[in-house]
Structure 1
Amino acid sequence: MAIILTAPAEPADPVQKQSSSRGGRRPRREDAGRSRAARGIRSVLRQPTLVLAVIVLAVVVLWAVAPTWFTSWDPIEGVARNRLQPPSAEHPFGTDNLGRDLFSRVVHGSATSLVATSVAVLVGLAVGSVFGLLAGFLRGVVDDVIMRFMDVLLAIPSLLLSLALITALGFGTINVAIAVGLASVASFSRVMRAEVLQVATAVYVEAARVSGVRWYTILTRHVLPNASGPVVALAALEFGVMVLAISSLSFLGFGAPPPAPEWGSLVSGGRDYLAIAWWLTTLPGVVIVAVVLSANRISRALERNGGNR
């Protein structure tokens, strides 16, 4: 009988085993991330209204960033012989009483309107979130004082409050944006406070407190990231509302002075010619309505996504 001797198997290298296990785990994580991204894209594509809203806002942002890609007409200087021409292939939105291309003025005015709206949203989001965080986290007397102040702000119509703030700050696009943003502080503050009250009682927050973590660390590391979802959705909703508010104040003459193009002032400038040149007010108004509806649709999608999480 032949006896076959085999050498004992060498022990596996722990470093090699660990690296191989890591190498095997990484593709799974990448595949999971890709699958989530693919599911997200499919979910968006199943909602044609959401796709349309994203396209509308993307086009308007491109107008603001690169207006010369879409029109070559000067938004300030007009041609007298082209005054009050209806929409055509050469002038898609027609011309105004000075012969200026209305589409060019809408495109170039998108930068002013979007910048003002962004400033208003940032002001309202920042100030309101700070008040809401302090009220929901500190509670007690601080909560009572802050929320009673917010109740007073909510009792005043937002347009009237904006007009009062503009009177104090002065005219101009940025001052109008700051006034509109401050008028929306109460909405952001109430939503942030409600989320902070819910998150502050979570187990991981209580564990951090018991562990001796400083209160401001808990606030910035645990409470704020987990309470910001609904506030971001509200910011998207308020974006559309603030576009309308800033356009309304510009319509009343508190925005950029003429001849600078701005959506609200374009609608205001066409009032005197409404009977003979309907496009001067209708087409800029359609752009404003499209932006507001698109922002509201994206806000609903963000809110639904946050609720599913």
Structure 2
Amino acid sequence: MSEINLNKAAIALDFGGTNIKIGLIRQGKVLNQTLLPAHSGAGIIPRLPDVQAAVMDLLEQEGLALGNCSGVGIGLPGLVDPQHLSLLSINEKYADAVGFAFGAWVEEAFGLPIVMENDARAALLGETVYGTAHGESNAVLMIFGTGIGTAALMNGKIIRGRHFQAGILGGHFVTDVNGSRCSCGGVGCLEAEASHWSLQGWLKNQQGYANSLLAIESNIGYRQVIDASQSGDMLALSAMQHLYKHWSSGIVNLVHAYDPDVVILSGGLMKAKDIVLPELVRRVHEQAWTPWGKVRFIVAENPDSSVLLGLSHLIEEGIDIDYV
């Protein structure tokens, strides 16, 4: 990548399963950001005109033009080859993005350089370079969005692996061998048991659902369950224990696999950190085999910006294609 002018803004596009987050970032500062509904089941190509328009609107709001921008960063919740700017695999969303020529689209839409990365890896970079985990060199991240993303940093280097899947499949660690079928084809994955997308199905299969406060909700996610549990709803309280069990198991697996000093938590769930964090930390410290001491927990200061910040760093510094 050619030398980047750090006084220019980076355009960061975080394609999530529920929302597409779009931001303008300069040297680790979010100048402006917005979001669009993803409609990810319908594919990514139909959303690109709206994404382009939203970028241009943000630029206008900030009094900027494309000439004031350094590049475009794209984050996706799947297996990304950052060297060849391609999405290799993804489950049940943005199916048309696999093999799509993102570089050609960015060139046509913006005329700028492009970087691509898995969204969780970008979030990990965002937090360790600009966020509350600044300076940490051995860390794992779990980000709670529509699914559950993970990433790992060892000795200051992002883990990618030979096939670009190392570190990012923590959402598909098996936490119940007799559990539910996952979108990846596996059984009992963390995502299948305790993600935002799987939660409503789990609740509807529980005894007492019809009498729960949750039965009146048309779209049940973490927030609705947490709110109902705070009101003493019995099913919601049971659901929280179910979620804590699987979340903590997933984090323990990350700790055992990657030997971090710190666990970074991000995503929408962390807006309820005061409620969920104490029990989550207690369970992980109780279960993890870490004779050297207790792994520390850090929560993203602004969970909605973690991925955007990481993408901006990749634009400014370039992607190191020598994977670990």
TM-score tier by shorter-chain length is: under 0.3
TM-score normalised by length of structure 2: 0.26
Please state which structure has a larger fraction of its residues in helix.
1
Please state which structure has a larger fraction of its residues in strand.
2
Larger radius of gyration: 1
